[in-house]
Amino acid sequence: MSAIPISDLPDEYRDLREEVRRFADEVIDPVAAENDRTHTLDLGIVARMGEMGLFGLPFPEEHGGMGGDYLSFGIALEEIARVDQSLAITLEAGVGLGAMPIHRFGTEEQKGTWLPDLLAGRALAGFGLTEPDAGSDAGATRTTARLDGGEWVIDGAKQFITNSGTDITSLVTVTAVTGAREDGSKEISTIIVPSGTPGFTVEPAYDKVGWNASDTHPLTFTGARVPEGNLLGERGRGFANFLSTLAEGRVAIAALATGVARGCVEESVRYARERTSMGRAIAEYQAISFTIARMEARAHAARVAWLDAAAKMVAGRDFRREASIAKLVAAEAAMDNARDATQIHGGYGFMNEYRVARHYRDSKILEIGEGTTEVQLMLIARSLGLGGAR
């Protein structure tokens, strides 16, 4: 499958897009500004997204999934992000960072225990990787886990963990140092920690610049004990396993960012047609119309990029470079379009009840999360065989 316009995709993809678009416009958009203002993740909407099958889109039916793929998942993310990035990232993280590691690396018992509720949207899960000095640099990981009497004893802290403190969060998986390799480097493994585990504390939520209606917390582990069987995947492969799913996450974030870029175009076209200045709609002024034309070009390029990466993924081909390109192009398109849309809206663009104002605050993190812009440039350069790409 090549990167073709969504309008030319098979019926099931186009039908999904229309269904999610209607849901976003009719259910999410009317309450998005208020939820942003009150920093509220609307679990009622999350439940409805679960009932639609959105959390199960790229998973097989045997575990309660919809039997779809990352292309369908990206389409859903694009349409939701167009109106509300907070709910879009809740879905993206719930699938890519919460359920996907268990699906990819879990035992059959772990899958049977956790996946049914995660794929139905009845539960959420987080992934604890980032620490104050560790993220992309796995060697700086300080959280530890040691075996004692058939249990892992976990000590350490994580930060910026999405979906980690909601009323329906069922677990977080955390990377921890579980020993040392023969060469002296750290052995890092991934361990499932159920919510409510003694010694596992979800600290107060962050006061963020954007994504205010999503759930993000620092986590603390002080002698937290979980069964030895809560090891996720092979011991010592925790960080490597996470990296293997990261490219998929970059495609998903690119789709989300594309939705933002498109949403900014749609809002700017509408506003430019309605707003008058000196007796004319501002859409008639070349400065405005050319700005929106450039915004549309960015949104189109972003969509082509993520569709190309998703098509290669679905076809089983190596898509890692395309994923980095898509994430880079789409994140920058979202940020640039949000800035231009805010300028077009003038004073109204500075008011939080306007969607473009929220996009302006929300979009910066798209250039940071799931690998910064600089990381994507490094990976692309490496794929071209360029020296100094580190």
Q: Is residue 132's pLDDT more than 90?
A: no
Angle, helix 85-93 to helix 238-274, in steps of 10 degrees: 160
pLDDT class of 6 with cuts at 50, 70, 90: low
The predicted structure's pLDDT at residue 207: 95
Q: Are residues 180 and 285 in the same domain?
A: no
- Alpha-carbon span 173 to 335, nearest angstrom: 31
Same domain for 156 and 108, yes or no, is no
Check whether residue 256 and residue 297 sit in a common domain: yes
DSSP H helix total and E strand total for the chain: 12, 10
Domain identity same for 198 and 272: no
Catalytic residue among 92, 131, 296, 370: 370
> 389 lies in a domain?
no
Nearest residue to 172 (alpha-carbon basis) of 182, 181, 162: 162
**1 within a domain of the structure (yes/no):** no
pLDDT at 182: 84
- The pLDDT of residue 1 is 40
Does any domain span residue 314? yes
Among 236, 255, 280, give the residue marking a domain's end.
236
The enclosing domain of 171 has a CATH number of 2.40.110.10
Q: Is 347 found in the same domain as 245?
A: yes
Average pLDDT of the residues in 47-59: 96
* % of the chain residues with pLDDT over 70: 97
Same domain, 360 and 318: yes
Residues 361 and 348 in one domain: yes
Domain for residue 390, yes or no? no
CATH code of the domain covering residue 372 = 1.20.140.10
> Are residue 205 and residue 278 in the same domain, yes or no?
no
How far, in Å, CA of 367 to CA of 61, rounded? 34
Pick from 59, 96, 379, 31: nearest CA to 246: 96
Cα Rg of the chain (Å, integer):
21
Domain that holds residue 37: 6-124
Is the same domain home to 142 and 153?
Answer: yes
Q: Are strands 169-180 and 124-128 parallel, antiparallel or unpaired?
A: parallel
Query: Do both 223 and 141 map to the same domain?
Result: yes
112: CATH: 1.10.540.10
Is 255 part of a structural domain of the chain?
A: yes
Assess whether 325 and 371 both reside in one domain: yes
Same domain, 262 and 300: yes
Domain boundary among 96, 124, 152: 124
304 in any annotated domain: yes
Query: Where in the chain does DSSP place strands (E)?
Result: 124-128, 144-148, 151-162, 169-180, 186-194, 200-202, 216-227, 231-232, 276-277, 280-281
> For residue 2, what pLDDT band results from cuts at 50, 70 and 90?
very low
Please, are residues 221 and 45 in contact by the beta-carbon 8 Å criterion? Answer: no
Give yes or no for residue 238 having a pLDDT over 90: no
- Note the pLDDT of residue 261: 98
296 is known as an active-site residue = no
Summarize the confidence of residues 37-46 as an average pLDDT: 97
Residue 390 has pLDDT above 80, yes or no: no
Kindly report whether the global pTM for this prediction surpasses the value 0.75. yes
* pLDDT tens figures, 304-324: 999 999 999 999 999 999 999
Q: Does residue 71 lie in a domain region?
A: yes
Where among 67, 93, 124 does a domain terminate? 124
Q: Is 76 part of any domain?
A: yes
- pLDDT tens-place string over residues 256-286: 999 999 999 999 999 999 998 998 999 999 9
For residues 159-172, average pLDDT: 97
Distance set, CA 203 to CA 158, 165, 193, 239, 353 (Å): 10, 8, 15, 24, 29
Q: Structural domain tally of the chain? A: 3
Beta-bridged to residue 220, according to DSSP, are 157, 201
